[in-house]
Amino acid sequence: MATPFWYNAALTLIKPIYRARIKQRATQPEALQQELIERFGPFQAPKNLKTLWFHVVSVGETNAAQPIIEHYLKQGHAVLVTNTTKTGQARAKALFLKPEYEHLFQAVYLPADQRDLVRDFYQKYQPKILALMETELWPNLIDIAQEFKVPCIVLNARLSEKSAQGYNKVKGLTRGMLQGLDALLAQDQATQQRFIALGMPAQKTQVLGSVKFDITAPHSFINQAEHLKIKWQLQTRKIITLASTHAPEEVKLLEQLKPALMADPHLVCIVVPRHPERFDEVFAACQSLNLNTQRRSLGQKIETNTQVYLADSMGEMWLWYALSQACYVGGSLNQLGGGHNILEPIALGVATVLGQQYFNFQSIVDEFVAVDGVMVASDFKHAGTILLSLMDKPEQRQLLNLNAQQVMQHNQGALARHIQCLDTYL
C-alpha cells in the first residue's frame, strides 16, 4: 500500500528545515558532510550486501539491540546498523567496530523517509531483513521493504498510551504502515493491544517480553571502574550519578544536593547530560552554583576536592554507573518527561531513583515500583532527599537492590525468544 500523497508532500516541505537543523547542530565540517550524504544521498558504497539491517534510533535502542546484533555477528552474518541520532551512531560504532567484527559491520544514518531516497537505499544495500527496534516506524521505509521483498519486523516493540494517541491522529497512515509489517514482537500485552487497536493484524503479533532485561554490564567498563577507583582514590567516596539528564534537571537537582556537597568532602556527583550539545550549558550551570567541577572531555579526573564531575563524553554510561552507589535516571522530572532506561544501573546493583514522568518505560518501571525495587520522586526536592538518604543508609540501598534483582531474574529470556523468531526469517 503506497503512502498517502499528503505525507510525501509534507516531507518535501520539511526537508530544508531538517537539513538546516542538522547543519546547526554540527561541530565538524567533515562529519557534517558525511552525515548529509548518509541522510540525503548519494549513498556511499556498502561494505556488504545481503546484510541483516537493524534500525536503532539512539543510545537506548542501540544498547537494547546489542546482544541480538552481537549474536549474529558472532555467527558470521554481515550487519548494517542505521541510527537517527549522533549519540546512537557513536554508541553503535563503539560497540561493534572491533577488529573481530570490522569486516562484517557498518553503521550509517537512516536516510530521510522520502520514497526516492529510501528506494535508492534498498537498491544499493540490498538487505536480507529489516529489524526495527522498539517504536521507530517510518511509512516509506516499511512500504518499500515490501517492494523489495525484505521481511520487516519490529523487535522489542513498545508503545505508550501517549504515543498511541499520536499515531491514532493519523489513522490511515498508521494502519497502512502497520499492515506492511511482517511481525511485531511486543514487550508486554498493553503494547500488543495498542498496536492491534491501531490496525496491526493480531496474528502477526507476539508478546515476548523485553530484551532489556537480558542486559549484562560489559566487563571492560567494570574493569575500568575498578582501575579508576584506585587511580582516582575513590574507595571512600560517596558517588551519586545523575544520568541521561535533560534541562532543567541538572541545575534543579544540584541545587538540592549543594548543601550536602559543601558539607561532606566525601560526596561527589557525576552528571551525564543526555545530549552532547548541552555539555557547555551544563558546565556553566555547575559554575554558577559555585561547585568545584571537573570535565571528562578535558581529560580531568575526580580530585579530592571535586564536587561535580561532568561526564561530557559519549558511550561511557556503564563506567559512571559502575562507580556509583546511587543514581537518578533522567528525563523523568523534566516537563516533557518520558524517562530513560533504568535497567543499566540496576544490572550493576546501583540504587536507582527516578521521577514520576516515566511513561516511555511504564510497564518496566511499574514492575520495580510494585516490589520496592526503585524509588520514585515526586519533585526535585524529594529526589535530592531520597538520593542523600540512600548515600547514608547502605542497608536501604542493599534492600532496594535485592528487590530489583528479583524482577530482573523473573523477566529474563526475551533475548533467546527474539533470536528464535528472527531465525525463522533467515
Give yes or no for a contact between 250 and 271, defined as CB atoms under 8 angstroms apart. Answer: yes
What crossing angle do the helices spanning 380-392 and 394-411 adopt, rounded to 10°? Answer: 100
The span from the first CA to the last CA of the chain, in angstroms, equals: 25
**Structure-block grid coordinates of residue 185:** 514482537
Interacting residues of 66 by C-beta distance below 8 A, sequence separation 6+? 95
Q: Measured between alpha carbons, how far is 385 from 245 in angstroms, rounded to an integer?
A: 18
Give yes or no for a contact between 328 and 254, defined as CB atoms under 8 angstroms apart. Answer: no
Q: Classify residue 112 by its DSSP letter.
A: P
Please tell me which residue in 30, 35, 38, 61 is annotated as part of the active site.
61
Q: By C-alpha distance, which of 255, 250, 238 is closest to 391?
A: 238
Residue type, 315: G
**Structure-block grid coordinates of residue 327:** 543514581
> Is residue 61 annotated as part of the catalytic site, yes or no?
yes
Reported as half-sphere exposure (CB side, CA atoms, 13 A), residue 384 has a value of 16
Q: Which residue has the cell 511499574?
A: 366
Residue type, 150: V
Could you give the residue numbers annotated as active site?
61
